[in-house]
Amino acid sequence: MKPNVARRLRGVGEAISDSTPGETIVCGKCGQRFAIRNDAAPQDAERAKKQASWVEEQLVWDHIQERKHHGTMELPSL
């Protein structure tokens, strides 16, 4: 089983493929976009919300620590 990851989207037209469920998170500070690929069942909406919230917290923390965002982040199993 592949780990669930959040991956930075570089291009304006780049998005998550239609075959992979997930969502896009935008950093409120710098505007960088991250796609969350989730291999979990689509019914697990609560888990998806927790993962999106976790990614948003990591993006804020990156700015507090004055470091660049990672290209990919392995999501914790929440």
Give the pLDDT score at 14: 53
Q: Is residue 41 part of a domain?
A: yes
Give the pLDDT score at 37: 75
Q: Is residue 11 part of a domain?
A: yes
- Total count of domains within the chain: 1
How confident is the model over 11-33, as pLDDT tens digits?
Answer: 765 554 544 557 889 999 999 99
Instruction: Return the SS3 of 59.
Output: helix
How confident is the model over 42-64, as pLDDT tens digits?
Answer: 657 788 889 899 999 999 999 99
Q: Is residue 75 part of a domain?
A: no
Q: Is residue 71 part of a domain?
A: no
Q: Which residue has the higher pLDDT, 10 or 56?
A: 56
Domain housing 26: 5-66
Q: Which of 73, 74, 54, 57 is nearest to 65 (CA)?
A: 57
Q: Is residue 19 part of a domain?
A: yes
Q: Is residue 24 part of a domain?
A: yes
Give the pLDDT score at 46: 84
44 touches 69 (CB < 8 A): no
Q: Is residue 36 part of a domain?
A: yes
Give the pLDDT score at 25: 92
